[in-house]
Amino acid sequence: MPLPGRISIVYLLIKLTCKKLYDNMKIMVFIKRWKRAIAFYLSVVLFLLPIITYAFDGEMDEKIERFAAEKGREDAIKSIGMTQKVLWFGTGLLFNVLGVGTSVIFVPGPKLTGALGKPSKALKAYVDEYKTIKRNKQLFYTGFGCLVGTSVVLFAYAIYYYISIIKLMLIAFYSILATAGS
């Protein structure tokens, strides 16, 4: 009994090997017939592959830049604490236009921890967005302080002016009374 099983296994292996050879010959005939078409197809694919890769790479760069700018915006908003708000409000309150100018000119950059190995375009987008948001917030608080300071000064001047006018009117009234009484 074992002999026919071994023969059938050997027969099966020979048949599979021949079939593989026959299939390989079919492939070779196909390649010979379509050699030019296959060569053209491969050259077109090899020519277009860098272009397609570059296009997708550009899209990926834009996504990375947008993400970095978004992160810069979030970090700038988080970095403005109550101390900085009061500081810039006080600067606008005390120095008016000079304080506003200072808030526009002096914009601290972000802490670039973990920036090693990041793409330069993404890093630039992060820093630019961070500085823009930081400058806008500083300008807002300094401008608000400037408006409050200017309003207080104008109100104090108006009160002083009206008190002066009232004093002059009272002096004129008493002088009229004094001349009329004598």
Q: What is the pLDDT of residue 2?
A: 47
Q: What is the pLDDT of residue 28?
A: 72
**Cα 123 to the center of its chain, rounded Å:** 9
Give me 6's structure tokens. 């071994």
Crossing angle, helix 120-181 and helix 35-79, to 10 degrees?
30
Q: Nearest CA to 87 among 161, 25, 138?
A: 138
Task: Identify the segments of the chain with pLDDT beneath 50.
Answer: 1-3, 5
Residue boundaries of the structural domains of the chain: 34-181
Report d(CA 114, CA 75) in Å as an integer: 14
Q: What is the pLDDT of residue 94?
A: 92
CA atoms within 13 A on the CB side of 105: 6
The tens digit of pLDDT for each residue in 80-94 reads: 999 999 999 999 999
Q: What is the pLDDT of residue 70?
A: 92
Q: What is the pLDDT of residue 118?
A: 77
Q: What is the pLDDT of residue 122?
A: 85
Q: What is the pLDDT of residue 44?
A: 78
